[in-house]
């Protein structure tokens, strides 16, 4: 059935206005965890973000679920409970797969070399790499805590490619000038430095900073 112009405008105007004025109540951040060693970084990131207004959208890879069992005493369900929303690894129709879903960006902690390679080549074989691809195309911030050593030439070239695309390669290398006394302190330092890249300054887990508490 055809709708005349006057009838059509009655339906169209509210919709256009809604799109123009709508905005998420809280900023959103996508968090990915892969099967590389170091899932503690992703877990701690979620824990700290729970103390902020930021809405977290978590994607666990299949390998991440295995790494969680190997490296922690937690179950994947306990880690999922830390996030605002959890998306299935294969659900490429999830909200984070679209650029129209506004986010601050994405952190993959840790990021495996396979995930890095998919992002570098544009092969979006899962929601995890699709979401990363969307973040790059929308010119939002993508931070990858790449975890591998030693690095071969393919790894290095993929890191260069992602950097040229606008991503940030952030290997979780501990800083020792703060004289950390535990692994927890080293993890917190790295996670807080990642959050600095998103201008997020939570009240918990403060870190000593060069030129302030250190090196004066």
Q: What is the CATH number of the domain that holds 110?
A: 3.40.50.1950
Pairwise pLDDT comparison (43 vs 2), residue with the higher score: 43
Average pLDDT over residues 187-213: 88
Residue 213 has pLDDT above 80, yes or no: no
Residue 131 contacts residue 97 (beta carbons within 8 Å): yes
Average pLDDT of the chain to the nearest whole number:
89
Q: What percent of the chain has pLDDT over 90?
A: 79
Q: What is the C-alpha to C-alpha distance for residues 169 and 156, in angstroms, rounded to an integer? A: 10
Please give the pLDDT value at position 17.
37
Residue 64's domain comprises: 25-196
- Does 216 reside within a domain? no
Taking alpha carbons only, the member of 110, 116, 38 closest to residue 70 is: 38
Pairwise pLDDT comparison (4 vs 108), residue with the higher score: 108
Query: Could you give phi then psi for residue 30, rounded to 5 degrees?
Result: -90, 130
Average pLDDT over residues 26-33: 96
- Specify the DSSP class assigned to residue 49: H
Please give the pLDDT value at position 4.
46
- Does 186 reside within a domain? yes
Please give the pLDDT value at position 70.
96
If pLDDT is split at 50, 70 and 90, which confidence band does 66 have?
A: very high
| Radius of gyration in angstroms for the set of CA atoms belonging to the chain, rounded to a whole number | 20
Q: What is the pTM of this model?
A: 0.87
- Does 5 reside within a domain? no
Residues 6+ apart with CB under 8 A from 55: 24, 26, 27, 28, 29, 84, 85
Tokens of 120: 């570098």
Pairwise pLDDT comparison (207 vs 57), residue with the higher score: 57
- Nearest 5°: CA angle at 118, between 66 and 161? 130
- Does 210 reside within a domain? no
Number of domains the chain is built from: 1
If pLDDT is split at 50, 70 and 90, which confidence band does 24 have?
A: low
Q: What percent of the chain has pLDDT over 70?
A: 88
Please give the pLDDT value at position 159.
98
- Does 152 reside within a domain? yes
Please give the pLDDT value at position 23.
53
Tokens of 164: 């040229």
């Amino acid at each position: 059935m055809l709708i005349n112009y006057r009838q059509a405008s009655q339906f169209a105007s509210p919709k256009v206005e809604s799109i123009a004025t709508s905005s998420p109540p809280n900023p959103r951040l996508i968090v990915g965890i892969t099967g590389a060693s170091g899932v503690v970084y992703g877990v701690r990131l979620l824990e700290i973000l729970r103390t902020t207004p930021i809405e977290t959208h978590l994607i666990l890879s299949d390998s991440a679920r295995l790494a969680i069992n190997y490296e922690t005493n937690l179950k994947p369900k306990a880690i999922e409970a830390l996030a605002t929303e959890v998306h299935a690894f294969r659900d490429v129709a999830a909200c984070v797969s679209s650029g129209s879903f506004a986010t601050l960006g994405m952190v993959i902690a840790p990021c495996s070399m396979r995930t890095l390679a998919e992002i570098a080549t544009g092969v979006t074989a899962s929601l995890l790499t699709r979401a990363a691809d969307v973040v790059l195309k929308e010119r939002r911030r993508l931070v990858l805590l790449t975890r591998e050593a030693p690095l071969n030439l393919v790894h290095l070239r993929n890191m260069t490619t992602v950097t040229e695309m606008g991503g940030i390669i952030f290997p979780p290398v501990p800083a020792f000038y703060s004289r950390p006394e535990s692994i927890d302190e080293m993890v917190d330092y790295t996670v807080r430095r990642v959050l600095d890249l998103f201008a997020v300054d939570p009240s918990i887990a403060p870190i000593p900073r060069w030129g302030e508490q250190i090196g004066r």
